[in-house]
Amino acid sequence: MVSREKTRTVFIELINLQLEPHGKTYNDVVNEQDWYMQYSTTREKELEFIEKATKILRTKLRMSKAVAEKEINWFILQWGLTTGENATEYVFVEKETIKRKKKQ
């Protein structure tokens, strides 16, 4: 079982990874309310983040790929930066991504 401290360390690493393009870290935003609404990203950058973050969860917290993907989706839902896209566009992009992967 993974310790609470290890989980917290990975959480902070994910926040730092997400904020890296903005030149910010967890320490910069920890005391800001709704900090994740103050920074934005593109859908493409979010997908890159999801890929990197899933690898971090699999490696450092020893999660299976399926569990890591579910966990990072929860992370994005709660702590993800805004993308400026509405929910319909988000679902469409996800379906297109899935379709492209199946064809390859």
pLDDT at 98: 47
Q: Is pLDDT above 70 for 30?
A: yes
Domain extent for 11: 4-103
* Start-to-end Cα distance in the chain: 37
Give the whole-angstrom CA distance, residue 22 versus residue 62.
29
Note whether 61 and 1 are within 8 A (CB): no
Number of compact structural domains in the chain: 1
| 3-state class percentages of the chain: helix first, strand second, coil last, to nearest 5 | 75, 0, 25
Q: Which residue has the higher pLDDT, 98 or 39?
A: 39
Q: What is the Cβ-side half-sphere exposure of residue 102, based on CA atoms within 13 angstroms?
A: 6
pTM of the model: 0.78
Name which of 4, 47, 38 is nearest 19 in CA terms. Answer: 38
Give the whole-angstrom CA distance, residue 56 versus residue 104.
25
Predicted confidence band at 28 (pLDDT cuts at 50, 70, 90)? very high
Give mean pLDDT, residues 94-102: 48
pLDDT at 85: 57
pLDDT tens-digit map of 37-92:
999 999 999 999 999 999 999 999 999 999 999 999 999 999 999 987 544 444 44
